[in-house]
Structure 1
Amino acid sequence: MPLTIFYWAMWSLWVYFTFLAKKNRTRDYVVIFLLASISCATFSVSIPTLDINVTYLLFLFVGLYLFRPKKMRLTLYYVFIIFSLMLLYVLYYIYVLYDPAIFLLFDDWALAIGLFLIICLLVKDHRMRCASLIMGQCMGEFLRVVVFYRFDHTVGHAGFLNQMAMVLVLVVAGHTIGNLTKQWHYYMASRVQSDMNKQSKF
């Protein structure tokens, strides 16, 4: 499977964070991570029984770094979400194996949109959304290789990278639209308040 979707999505995110996002240290780290992910997408590390894509390892490292719940009592909740995303990821590939026609109709966007909608319903914090999605897909990809070990020994295949990129685009787009909506509401509220103040003066 080609990495066309992955490259388009990751380069689009790089352009967004480089030229449109607010300049701060977090943005710099994101830009470096995106460039590293794009550069390492075709490289893999070989161990006796598996081939592990380098970009997969980068995603896994970032997911572990971001997984810092604000309240310790929420840790078990987020672990449950990650476990659910992992099972959904694997079940998708099992279903495709037995009914490949659905794969021809919906392709990888079905899984990406499904994961995005679930994480939006269950997690409100943006950082934990990213961490849960990345960890869930990374663990799901490893479990997929365990289940289909006789057919595929590559952890972080092209389909995984394409889906990960699509989900990240959806998360960033959703977060950006949410911020723009909040700014619009604040702007309209300030306009209404100023009009009311002018009327009260008269």
Structure 2
Amino acid sequence: MEQFYYYWSMWFLWVLTTFIFEKTKRRIAVSVFILTNIILSIHDIALYFSLNAAYLMFFVCGCVYAGYLGMYRFRYIMVYLTLVAAYAFVYLFALYDPVWFIIKPEWAAVILIVLLTASVERNFEKQLVLFVLGMCQGELVYSFVIQKLAGAMAVGGFQWLNACSAGMILLFGISKYEHLASQIGQKSKRSNKGATKMS
């Protein structure tokens, strides 16, 4: 079940957006994106590489949404390039010396990119865009580098989709945790102010 994590992660995200989030146009767009992505995941597109259609959808929509959010500043470009380099480095290092990896390289890459993304950006939407684009471009760079050794290979297969979808859920969890911690902090400040006034 190579695609197990991907399908379960995407269905989980679809349930969240469809039944839990507020009813907005953005929610509908995200729900449609998730369902379309699941449908496209079984198709490949033959270009210079064999690209998974769901991977290509992630890449294109990530680029479009980055433009919509105005993420064309130098800071975002540098963060994006850092994420791409981190992804490619993890995979190439795992290929060169796999004995250093306790967990699978794809999970190591996801954890690293999630931590980097969450540490440099506070806005969840921008975190998501940076993460997805970093994963997409990193996969492309890695595939381009090793194509002479491995020959023709599929880019953005289920191994990548598993990692990407799990990383999105991890980012979502971090975002909700930060939001909850912020709310608790604000409530504690208010209670402290109230106690000070009473005294």
Give the TM-score, by structure 2 length: 0.86
Q: 2:29 maps to which residue? A: 29
Candidates 83, 89, 94, aligned match of 2:87: 89
Once the two structures are superposed, the pairs formed by residues 158-169 of structure 1 within 5 Å of their partners are 158-169=158-169
Say whether the 8 Å CA contact 2:143–2:153 is kept in structure 1: yes
Residue 106 (str. 1) matches residue 72 (str. 2)? no
Distance, in Å, in 1 between the alignment partners of 2:30 and 2:114 is 20
Q: Note the C-alpha offset of 1:125.
A: 2.2
Q: Note the C-alpha offset of 1:121.
A: 1.4
Residue 141 (str. 1) matches residue 152 (str. 2)? no
Distance, in Å, in 2 between the alignment partners of 1:109 and 1:171 is 14
**CA gap 1:102/1:27 in 2 versus in 1, 3 angstroms:** farther
Structure 1: unaligned runs, 5 residues or longer: none
Percent of aligned pairs sharing the same letter? 24
Q: Identify which range, 168-177 or 63-72, moves more after superposition.
A: 63-72
Candidates 77, 80, 83, aligned match of 1:79: 77
Query: What secondary structure does 2:42 align onto?
Result: coil
Distance, in Å, in 1 between the alignment partners of 2:132 and 2:92 is 20
Once the two structures are superposed, the pairs formed by residues 1-202 of structure 1 within 5 Å of their partners are 2-47=2-47, 49-68=48-67, 75-103=73-101, 105-107=102-104, 108-150=106-148, 151=150, 152-193=152-193, 199=198
Q: Who wins on radius of gyration, i.e. which is larger?
A: 1
Distance, in Å, in 2 between the alignment partners of 1:69 and 1:80 is 18
What value does the CA root-mean-square deviation take over the aligned residues? 2.3
Say whether the 8 Å CA contact 2:91–2:109 is kept in structure 1: no
Cα deviation code 1:31-63 (max 9, x no counterpart)? 11111112211111123x421111111111221
Q: Note the C-alpha offset of 1:191.
A: 4.3
Structure 2: unaligned runs, 5 residues or longer: none
Q: Note the C-alpha offset of 1:190.
A: 4.1
Say whether the 8 Å CA contact 1:85–1:115 is kept in structure 2: yes
